[in-house]
A and B are shown apart, each in its own frame.
Chain A
Amino acid sequence: MSDAGLSARVATPRRSIFETLELDVRLLGMLMAFAAVAVVFTIWTGGTFVSPRNVFNIAVQTVPVAIMACGMVFVIVARNIDLSVGSMLAMCSAIMAMSQTHWLPSVFGTEYGNPAILLATVLIGLAAGTAMGSITGWLVGYQRIPSFIVTLGGLFVWRNVNWFTTNGQSVSLTDPNLLMFGGTEGVLGAPASWSLGIAASTLAVWAIVASRRNKQSHGFTVKPVWAETVMAGLIVGVILLFVGWLSRYPIPEAKLKRLFAASGQTMPEGYTAMHGLPISVLILILVAVAMTLIARKSRLGRYIFAAGGNPDAAELSGINTRLLTVKIFALMGFLCGLAALIAQARLQSHGNDIGMLEELRVIAAAVIGGTALAGGIGTIYGAVLGALIMQSLQSGMAMVGVDTPFQNIVVGLVLIIAVWVDILYRKRLGLSK
């Protein structure tokens, strides 16, 4: 708290270390849960769980759900729900698969794999997602049909329009430029990853300093310098650890030889290269940062939270809440398109069941991440962390040989327990009755 009047009060000695750091207790809880999952599986698997290779895989597998969960936070904060995201993902994926392999090549007479076609495909896919989201938003915002109903309908409709789009067939995708978005096939390598990590760290430190200066310029008391330093240190540490760890995952020798052969060269003896940051994870990070900026620092975000806290107040304050609903769902649709691109690139094909049941994972990620279904409360980083916790659990259980049905049982229980703990915590703080 940076309350000027507060410093004079006697209550100051009882401030805990977390209050001084202004650390969100809920975030802290999630980080601890994540750490617990990591420690348990690391011990259980004898260290394999935290190997660069497995960290890389978990990161890559988390991306589509995490991207959509960012959009779901806004949807739920504004007191709506979107059950159709899995089907919208499938629909976007179908459109992109068909346009790059059939439609665009036949219209322009070019070969599959032409970069221009891929670019057009990506734009078409994102536009399709945005359009589908806008339709949902219009039905919810302007026609006042409950979002649960609209998107439950959408779940059936888009899933099956998807089926007709491809005639029920899987489409195999081999364009190397597309596969770059999938993970293993599109990595930045160690040097570029390190540079990005250092750039991101610099940016984070700059942001902390700038925010502190702005507060000081208005005469507010700010956190002690040591607290700011600790926070900055933690953030920089996490960024560099993550980047550094992924930069220790070597690309297999056979694959390197193939890559050299493809460009007509022979691989020098003893050559090695590391994976580094996958492009898909970079996209997720950019989405999360952009969505956080929208949530915290833009009018749009402020209005979304206001509408979730008190829809009447938002309306009476002159906010066009109907158009706001359209924007929220359009953004959700756009992110479904982006997630579809990454999902199909990772699977290297479009199948009918792509994104099946993904809506439930997305909602679960947002809710585990602290988004309240009653609206008004939620964070982007929470949703990403929620997706990461679920994926880690599942990946860890798979590694130690837990059967798939039991994995899903655990994930379901974790969802319930996460919300339960949150309710108990809020009761104890007196935040709710």
Chain B
Amino acid sequence: MTDNRTPLVEMRDISISFGGIKAVDHVSIDLHPGEVVGLLGHNGAGKSTLIKILAGAYKADHGEILINGERVEIDNPRDARDLNIETIYQTLALADNLDAASNLFLGRELLRRGFVDDAKMEAETRKIMSRLNPNFRKFNVPVSALSGGQRQSVAIARAVYFNARILIMDEPTAALGPHETQMVAELIQELKAQGLGIFLIEHDIHNVMKLCDRASVMKNGELVGTVNVNEVTDDDILSMIILGKQPAHLAA
């Protein structure tokens, strides 16, 4: 892709090790506004670790992160949020014992005279949910009582409500049925159209071909390569994941 605009996100030469094991080894990736970049690789390839560095859950040993061309320090999840980076984790970072509104606003509660304003937060949650998942009804029960898709829509609503510009989705459809997967796919298209940049960690190659503009493949902590999805076939990407090599017709 010949894109000369300043990338929304640039992660340059990122490395991190845990106890001598290089989980991410000198990896550089970037993301433009209105673009979906897929991150692929086997379990343990380093995708989630790389993305957690951007989300502030881990701190890189080496390398730098640029947002809109400016160098930033992301030391913790709060810093990431301040930069409008929102993350939807694979493990669904929801507190099971709290209701949807409390989870949506967790860490950013709406206050009224110094106390949390539950009624206001519930009203806001109802508003955003009527847009994202009109069938959502369970506002007053702990999220442990919700289905996988309903929980996922709470997690997505959180990112959307707070005007994320950069969205990280770690296997957003892993726990979902076909209908709910379709719902998430449509949502990704809509967010993309609004100009958000999305990093999508995904195992399902069909979802990658359908949803992503580019795909970055990792193996053993290293970046195998980044390809434009419309220039390659599923087999090309699969061979990158398995063999850890760029396809011959692209390597040239």
Binding site for B on A (CB under 8 A): 1-6, 214-215, 217-220, 293, 297-299, 302-303, 305-310, 312-319, 376-377
Contact A293 B115 (CB under 8 A): yes
B95 with A314: CB separation less than 8 A: yes
Q: Do B122 and A313 touch across chains, with their CB atoms under 8 A apart?
A: no
A299 to B115, CA, bound (A): 7
Can you name 8 extra interface pairs (CB under 8 A) apart from A299-B111, A314-B95?
A218-B119, A218-B123, A298-B116, A306-B98, A307-B95, A314-B107, A315-B77, A318-B77
| Chain B min CB distance to A233 (Å) | 24
**Out of B76, B89, B137, which one reaches A318, CB within 8 Å?**
B76
Residues of chain A contacted by B163 (CB below 8 angstroms): none
Residues in B whose Cβ lies below 8 Å from that of A3: 137, 139-140
CB distance from B81 to the nearest CB of A (A): 6
Q: Per a CB cutoff under 8 Å, which of B77, B97, B111, B117 touches A316? A: B77
- From residue 61 to 83 of chain B, which have CB atoms closer than 8 A to chain A? 76-78, 81
Minimal beta-carbon separation of A382 from chain B (angstroms): 15
A-B contact number at CB 8 A: 87
Q: Which 8 A-B pairs have the closest CB atoms?
A: A309-B95, A309-B97, A317-B107, A376-B97, A318-B78, A218-B123, A297-B115, A313-B93
Query: Are B87 and A316 closer than 8 Å at their CB atoms?
Result: yes
**B22: interface (CB < 8 Å):** no
The listed residue with most B CB atoms (<10 A of its CB), out of A297, A308, A313, A314, is A313
Interface SS, B side:
loop
Given the complex, which residues of B lie within 8 Å of A5, measured CB to CB?
Answer: 137
Query: With A312-B91, A318-B77 as given contacts, are A299 and B109 in contact (CB-CB < 8 Å)?
Result: yes
Residues in A with CB closer than 8 Å to B97 are 305, 308-310, 376-377
Seen from chain B, the residues whose Cβ lies within 8 Å of a Cβ on chain A are: 55, 57, 76-78, 81, 87, 89, 91, 93-98, 102-103, 106-109, 111, 114-117, 119-120, 122-123, 126, 137, 139-140
Cα A303 to Cα B95 in complex, Å, equals 10
A377 to B144, CA, bound (A): 13
A386 to B136, CA, bound (A): 37
With A313-B93, A319-B106 in contact, do A297 and B116 touch (Cβ < 8 Å)? Answer: yes
CA distance A309 to B96 in the complex (A): 6
Neighbouring A residues of B116 by C-beta, 8 Å: 297-299, 302
Pairwise interchain contact A305-B137, C-beta atoms closer than 8 A: no
Q: Given A2-B140, A3-B140, A313-B95, A306 and B106 touching (CB < 8 A)?
A: yes
Q: A6-B137, A219-B123, A318-B81 are in contact. Are A376 and B109 (CB under 8 A)?
A: no
With A6-B137, A220-B122: A316-B96 Cβ-Cβ less than 8 Å: no
| Contact indicator A1/B140 (Cβ below 8 Å) | yes
- Report chain B residues within 8 Å CB of A316: 55, 57, 77, 87, 89, 93
Check B95–A305 contact: CB distance below 8 A: yes
Across the interface, which residues of B come within 8 angstroms of A219, CB to CB? 123
A317–B102 CB distance below 8 A = no
Q: What is the CA–CA distance of A135 and B77 in the complex, to the nearest angstrom?
A: 26
Cβ-closest chain A residue relative to B136:
A5
Q: Which residue in B77, B114, B115 is a CB contact (below 8 Å) of A317?
A: B77
- Write the nearest CB–CB distance from A378 to chain B, whole angstroms: 10
- Give complex CA distance A307, B108 in Å: 15
Q: Are B98 and A309 touching (Cβ within 8 A)?
A: yes
Partner of A218, one of B107, B108, B122: B122
Contact of A214 among B98, B102, B119, B137 (CB under 8 A): B119
> Residue among B97, B103, B122 with the most chain A CB within 10 A?
B97
Q: Are A302 and B102 in contact (CB under 8 A)?
A: yes
